[in-house]
Amino acid sequence: QAFFCLLLWVPWGSSCPPSCQCMERAGAKAVVCSSRHLEEIPKDIPKDAVFLKLDANSITRIPSNAFRHLSHLEELDLSRNAIEKIDRAAFKGVAAGLRTLDLSSNRIRSIPKEALLALNAKLRLANNPWHCECALQEVLWEARLDPDSVQDITCHTAPREEYVGKPLLQVLDTGVNFCSVRQRTTDVAMFITMFGWFAMVIVYVICYVRHNREETCRHVEYLTSLSNTHGHAE
């Protein structure tokens, strides 16, 4: 079986990034850039690539439109890198056709949900130092996660210490809802803001009334003094 698999890998004659190997697997174009000390995604990946392996490198960020020109891409392996930041439009252009996306074993703490929820691909997100929050919860419920790796999505940090070190799925199974926590925080912030504005209006009204009262008193005193002066003159 291994020998048969090797026969499927035929050298690919078209242009190929110097740090990668380009091959053909069962009629599909594959680009293998594993363990090449890459710090960013190569710019010259052939447009007809179907399989792209960028695992075991030192890539730290996936910028917007990083794979937009790869309209045939079906499998993308970014595991075992040092990825910390993923832009919202990182997978724009490949969302519809991508079947597998491996982001496991990186340094990802949080990710814009828009970057993943637009994908139809099966996702692997295990072994990252995740901060358990609403966006990650929404990804867990709505995205197509690889069932074999879901239990390895662990809370590295969380709003409460008791969740740290536990699988996110286990935490959510206890009834925790990180999105409702965020909503309550937003509601409290809005209440404090409204209370502040209300207090400012009350202070303004009080100052306005006091100022008018003082002006009225001075005016009355002035009229009284005029009346007395007029009386003395008569």
Query: pLDDT tens digits for 26-39?
Result: 889 999 999 999 99
Same domain, 153 and 196: no
**Of 147, 163, 178, at which residue does a domain stop?**
178
* Averaged pLDDT score across all residues of the chain: 83
Instruction: Name the domain count of the chain.
Output: 2
The range of the structural domain enclosing residue 204 comes to: 181-223
Exposure letters 144-157 (e unless 16+ CB within 10 A, then b): ebbeebbebbbbee
By the 8 A CB rule, do 22 and 30 touch?
A: yes
Same domain for 72 and 170, yes or no, is yes
pLDDT greater at residue 42 or residue 226: 42
Give 193's pLDDT tier (boundaries 50, 70, 90): low
Same domain as 124, residue 76: yes
Residues 41 and 153 in one domain: yes
pLDDT of residue 222: 57
Helix (H) or strand (E) holding 153: none
Mean pLDDT of the region 104-120: 93
What local confidence, expressed as pLDDT, does residue 207 receive?
A: 65
Which of 54-68, 133-147, 171-185 comes out lowest in average pLDDT? 171-185
d(CA 176, CA 153): 16
Is the same domain home to 200 and 90? Answer: no
Q: 3-state DSSP call for residue 108?
A: coil
Separation of CA 164 from chain center: 20
**Same domain (yes/no): 76, 156:** yes
Q: Are 46 and 14 in contact (CB under 8 A)?
A: yes
Q: Are 18 and 8 in contact (CB under 8 A)?
A: no
Confidence check: pLDDT of 55 > 70:
yes
Q: Is the pLDDT of residue 232 over 80?
A: no
Residue type, 64: S
The residue among 82 and 4 whose pLDDT is bigger is: 82
Q: Which of 6, 99, 110 is nearest to 51 (CA)?
A: 99
Mark whether 84 and 113 lie in a shared domain. yes
Q: Residue 5: inside a domain, yes or no? A: no
Judgement on whether residues 43 and 152 belong to the same structural domain of the protein: yes
- With a cut of 50, say whether residue 5 has pLDDT above it: no
